[in-house]
Amino acid sequence: MGSGAMADAYDLIVVGGGPGGYVAAIRASQLGMKVALVEREHLGGICLNWGCIPTKALLRASEINHLLHTLDAYGFAADNPRFDFQKVIKRSRQVAGQLSGGVKHLLKKNKVTVVDGHGALAGPKTVRVTKDGKDAATLTSPHIILATGARARVLPGIEPDGRTIWTYREAMVPPAMPKSLLVIGSGAIGIEFASFYANMGAKVTVVEVMDRVLPAEDAEISAFAHKAFVKQGMTVLTGATVKKVAKTGAGATVTVEEKAGSEKGGKVSEIAVEVVISAVGIVGNVENLGLEGTKVTVERSHVVTDGLGRTGEPGVYAIGDLTGPPWLAHKASHEGVLCVEAIAGKNHVHPLDVTTIPGCTYCRPQVASVGLTEAAAKAKGHEVRVGRFPFIGNGKAIAMGEAEGLIKTVFDAKTGELLGAHMVGPEVTEMIQGYAIARSAELTEAELMHTVFPHPTISEAMHESVLDAYGRVIHI
Amino acid sequence: MTNILMPALSPTMTEGKLAKWLKREGERIKAGDVIAEIETDKATMEVEAVDEGVLAKIMVPEGTEGVAVNSVIAVLDGGDAAPAPKPAAAAAPAAAVANPGPTKGFDPQPDPPKTNGHAAGRVFASPLARRMAAQAGIDLSTLKGSGPGGRIVKADIDAALAGAAKTAPKTVPAAAPAPAPAAAPAPKAVPAPPAPPIAAPHRLVPHSTMRKVIARRLGESKATIPHFYATRDVELDSLLKLRAELNAKSPKEGPGAFKLSVNDLVIKAAALALRRLPAVNASWTDEGMVLYDDVDISVAVSIPDGLITPIIRGADRKGLAAISNEMKDLAARAKAGKLKPEEFQGGSFSISNMGMMGVKDFAAIINPPQAAILAVSAGEQRPVVKDGALAIATVMTVTISVDHRVIDGALAAEWLGVFKGIVEDPLQMML
């Protein structure tokens, strides 16, 4: 785009080039629309540049480090296994860079016009793009999708300073490997960093305000993961709040209160660490979007939409993290596609059912789930049948030396609907899609039992868990 | 022993009220005897015996509402003099709904439900939808799928069940050997969000089946169809003159006698206008626009406790005398509750006429899935301007309510113009 203000007309403008925005733009282009995508920083968004992808590169490294320290179990020996921390970080950045370039290529291939700068609504059907505080372009379209994502929530008194107090962003490009750190929040982001640093050799403490880690997961999975983390050497404090973070020369002293009612009952302790990572949720990027004076409703930092991305303002849509939980890249992408298809008037476009969206956490052991937890299913009035299968009963898992884990399935007792599936253990993030397909296709336990799972694979544990729900399990 | 099942009186019927038993237990029945009366949403129908025998046991007492189609309503003893049937057998279809299924333990799992007996083409449905339908006794071939490629999914079954639950008690207390009348009305599903209680002194009149159907269908119509309205005044003098001349030609008595009403002529005029502008003779569906081959006019008839819309089929091709006599017959049987389902189900366009009640102007609610309804008001003498001078003409106001998804403003206006042209030059109706 040129530097002067010029009005270009499009069929669709997408503001934000993350996994919601760029996928929406490509789908719109496939449907024959003329599309502009406005991105202020990196194509691929947080996911690709500062989230999902680079953390997976880091976690892969920590997994290798873990294996290097368990070589003996497999009959190997290596003297003094070590790593170059900066190389580990550099590889993660290279992975992100490679994929960001890939998105740029995909957009070009699909003839999406990429506009560099900050996009904001500027009157009806108009987006003004500014770059370095100066007007860069004015775009018009009857349809504008906002996909500006979200950022880390900041707690007062625990503002990130880039040195001692980090968010996910600093935690991904640390200047040096910290010897000790404390993670506030045990959701997916907090637990992944805790797992990475713990497996790289740091002494890690996790503080969670809820009564269990990974509080969105099924309670049994949380309990299983908690035990596994403690066994690996992590300190996990649940039902606990951070009262104060006092910075010191060597890092920080964190005052943690474990609530009355938890096992230790109202105990206050001080924990000295080099680094504190704050992972206490995220807030939507709703500022400076020109929403003032429109009928777009913002509630608790997220844009309110109907199931197909429509806001209160005709012609303005919102998708992905900007619209609230679950804050997942694949949710954003899928919403982008649905939103565009609804704009294009496609048939059979249905709002996304969140209970069909799988969620994955890439800690060690991995955690993955789809649908309702047992407690949520009961709360919704379902009479349930629950199946469980531990990986210790699975041949491939034992052969791999990764027999720690559990698969839990929750069925509606009357209809046989797979209400939810909850997994902790090796490669479960790769396997959860099997249950996700079962939910989307509305399979019952009968089809799952009739499906032949190949032997020997860890996926056999998925089959066995279903069998267990109906009293037919073979291998336990 | 033969089970007598609750019949389906129309393809969409899922339940009905067992209004009256015309035979008693122990009475001998011949094939063709009328044994009971069933009240559906719109009509009362007679149930005829198919087999011969003795009415051994009445399983559903009269007055029971919400009897599911295909549930056992009585047992016929074909003459083998067996004892009364086991209540358990009769209760089976209902029990399948009531019983939440297997309890804990290692009980064997029933096979997934097979596709139902409907051999007419494959029904695409998810396994979960199939099982839920089988459990609820819903015939999948009666449902429209909302899933990929029109596949029937759980949401479609939920919607069908929600529709049924508004009126349906789930089971019939068939297991009781001789149910006391008080036990007969099974518990009703309570509407989910209770409305704030009405404090003012009042009495509560239970809804009739018809009242529920009117509430549901017209509520859905207003909530889902984007209505708009167009109104014109139509001069009636020529039409009234033609009507008088034609009526004068009727034989005094006998099968050829007729007495045309203004409404009969309005039906014919509307039918001709629809034939000339077939885009109005249409229905919206997500898949595409349904353009009907025939012009079938539904005519709203007021009956005790509601209204019903019997249909003059192929009205554009029928003569005025035929329309008039058919309308009289339909209206009389509508008021008696004796219309057959096919006489009021369907139709491509509706007319509602309140002219005989002196109404000056009104707008009607579209009768789904149709796309338009014509509201006809009273003809009255009004001052009109003709050739720059004041004159008196008999004028009636008509308002067409249309589904904007099907019919845009210009087309609605054009249709009114064609209709007005025919009414004001009524000899066209004789062509």
Task: For residues A364 and B361, give the distance between their C-alpha atoms in angstroms, rounded to a whole number.
Answer: 74
| A209-219 core/surface letters (b: 16 or more CB in 10 A; e: else) | beebbbebbbb
A360 belongs to a structural domain:
no
Q: Are residues A82 and A122 in the same domain?
A: yes
Q: Are residues A109 and A18 in the same domain?
A: yes
Supply the pTM of this predicted model. Answer: 0.59
- CATH code of the domain containing A401: 3.30.390.30
**DSSP three-state, residue B325:** helix
Cβ pairs A/B, distance under 8 A: 52
How far does B126 lie from chain A, in Å, by closest CA?
Answer: 6
Q: Are residues A147 and A171 in the same domain?
A: no
Q: Are residues A287 and A148 in the same domain?
A: yes
Instruction: Judge whether residue B87 has pLDDT over 70.
Output: no
A145 belongs to a structural domain:
yes
pLDDT in tens, B114-140: 333 333 468 899 999 999 999 888 889
Find the domain containing A33 and state its range: 7-152+283-343
Maximum distance among all alpha carbons in chain B?
A: 93
A100 belongs to a structural domain:
yes
Residue count of chain A: 476
Nearest Cα residue to A367 out of A222, A249, A269, A153: A222
Residue B406, token pair as written in the block: 């099907």
Confidence of residue B149 (pLDDT cuts 50, 70, 90): confident
Q: Are residues A274 and A290 in the same domain?
A: no
Task: For residues B117 and B145, give the distance between their C-alpha atoms in angstroms, rounded to a whole number.
Answer: 18
Q: What is the average pLDDT across B373-397? A: 93
Angle (CA) A89 A91 A96, round 5° = 100
Q: Do A268 and A256 touch, CB atoms closer than 8 A?
A: yes
B177 belongs to a structural domain:
no
B322 belongs to a structural domain:
yes
Number of domains in chain B: 2
- CATH code of the domain containing A270: 3.50.50.60
Instruction: Judge whether residue B173 has pLDDT over 60.
Output: no
Spatial neighbors of B184 by CB under 8 A, at least 6 apart, are: B61, B63, B64, B173
How far does A471 lie from chain B, in Å, by closest CA?
Answer: 4
Q: Are residues A116 and A186 in the same domain?
A: no
pLDDT in tens, B1-49: 778 888 776 666 777 888 888 888 888 888 778 888 887 766 777 777 7
A355 belongs to a structural domain:
no
Output the pLDDT for position B82. Answer: 39
Q: Are residues A56 and A134 in the same domain?
A: yes
Residue A446: which of B112, B132, B286 has the nearest Cβ?
B112
Q: How many helices (H) and strands (E) does chain A have?
A: 13, 26
Q: Containing H/E element for B19?
A: strand B15-21
Task: For residues B406 and B32, give the distance between their C-alpha atoms in angstroms, rounded to a whole number.
Answer: 46
Higher-pLDDT residue of B204 and B226 is: B226
Residue B262, token pair as written in the block: 């203004």
Output the pLDDT for position A137. Answer: 94
Least confident interval from B3-17, B184-198, B213-227, B253-267 = B184-198
Output the pLDDT for position B374. Answer: 97
B90, B106, B133: which is the final residue of a domain? B90
Q: Do A234 and A249 touch, CB atoms closer than 8 A?
A: no
Note the Cα B83 to chain centre separation in Å: 41
Task: For residues A413 and A417, give the distance between their C-alpha atoms in angstroms, rounded to a whole number.
Answer: 8
What does pLDDT average to over chain B?
80
Output the pLDDT for position A193. Answer: 97
Task: For residues B331 and B347, give the distance between their C-alpha atoms in angstroms, rounded to a whole number.
Answer: 16
B74 belongs to a structural domain:
yes
Q: Which residue of B has its CA nearest to A444?
A: B128
B47, B74, B90: which is the final residue of a domain? B90
Instruction: Judge whether residue B113 has pLDDT over 70.
Output: no
Least confident interval from A248-252, B206-210, B417-421 = B206-210
Nearest-10 Cα torsion for A16, A20, A23, A28: -80
Query: What parts of chain A have a pLDDT lower than 50?
Result: 1-5
Output the pLDDT for position B119. Answer: 38
A247 belongs to a structural domain:
yes
Q: Are residues A321 and A399 in the same domain?
A: no
Task: For residues A362 and A53, give the distance between their C-alpha atoms in angstroms, rounded to a whole number.
Answer: 11
Task: For residues A274 and A158, give the distance between their C-alpha atoms in angstroms, rounded to a whole number.
Answer: 14
Number of domains in chain A: 3
Spatial neighbors of B21 by CB under 8 A, at least 6 apart, are: B35, B36, B58, B61, B62
Amino acid code (one letter) for A290: G
B412 belongs to a structural domain:
yes
Chain B partners of A350 at a C-beta cutoff of 8 Å? 146
How far is CA A277 from each of CA A65, A159, A170, A186, A194, rounded to the nearest angstrom?
Answer: 21, 10, 9, 11, 9
Neighbours of A91 (CB within 10 A): 15
Model ipTM value: 0.81
Task: For residues A208 and A277, give the distance between their C-alpha atoms in angstroms, rounded to a whole number.
Answer: 12
Q: Are residues A223 and A325 in the same domain?
A: no
In sequence order, what DSSP letters do the residues of A310-359 get, joined into one string? B-SSTTEEE-GGGG-SS--HHHHHHHHHHHHHHHTT-SS-----GGG--E
Output the pLDDT for position B169. Answer: 42
Find the domain containing B346 and state its range: 227-430
Q: Are residues A129 and A173 in the same domain?
A: no
Residue B137, token pair as written in the block: 């006794």
Residue B37, token pair as written in the block: 């009366």
- CATH code of the domain containing B13: 2.40.50.100
What residues pair up with A366 in beta bridges, in sequence order? A425
Q: Are residues A235 and A297 in the same domain?
A: no
Q: How many helices (H) and strands (E) does chain B have?
A: 9, 19
| A237-275 core/surface letters (b: 16 or more CB in 10 A; e: else) | bbbbebeebeeeeebbbbebbbbeeeeeeeeeeebebbb
State yes or no: is A455 an active-site residue. Answer: yes
Residue A415: which of B132, B146, B286 has the nearest Cβ?
B132
- DSSP class of residue B267? H
Confidence of residue B210 (pLDDT cuts 50, 70, 90): confident
How far does A444 lie from chain B, in Å, by closest CA?
Answer: 6
**DSSP three-state, residue B102:** coil
A425 belongs to a structural domain:
yes
Q: Are residues A272 and A179 in the same domain?
A: yes
Q: Which of A352, A356, A382, A444 should we substitute to test contact with B (largest number of B Cβ atoms within 10 Å)? A: A444
**Lookup result for tokens 């034609």:** B246
A300 belongs to a structural domain:
yes
Note the Cα B359 to chain centre separation in Å: 26
Residues of A with CB under 8 A from a CB of B: 347-348, 350, 383, 413-417, 441-447, 449, 470-472
Output the pLDDT for position B40. Answer: 72
B90, B111, B141: which is the final residue of a domain? B90
- For A24, counting Cβ atoms within 10 Å of its Cβ (0-12 exposed, 13-18 middle, 19+ buried), the class is buried
Q: Which residue of A has its CA nearest to B155?
A: A442
Q: Do A355 and A370 touch, CB atoms closer than 8 A?
A: yes
Output the pLDDT for position B137. Answer: 86
Neighbours of A9 (CB within 10 A): 12
- CATH code of the domain containing B389: 3.30.559.10
Residue B131: which of A347, A383, A415 has the nearest Cβ?
A415
Output the pLDDT for position A363. Answer: 97
Residues of B with CB under 8 A from a CB of A: 100-102, 105-107, 109, 111-112, 126-129, 131-132, 135, 146-150, 153-154, 286-287
Confidence of residue B194 (pLDDT cuts 50, 70, 90): very low
**DSSP three-state, residue A268:** strand
Task: For residues B220 and B369, give the distance between their C-alpha atoms in angstroms, rounded to a whole number.
Answer: 10
Note the Cα B258 to chain centre separation in Å: 29
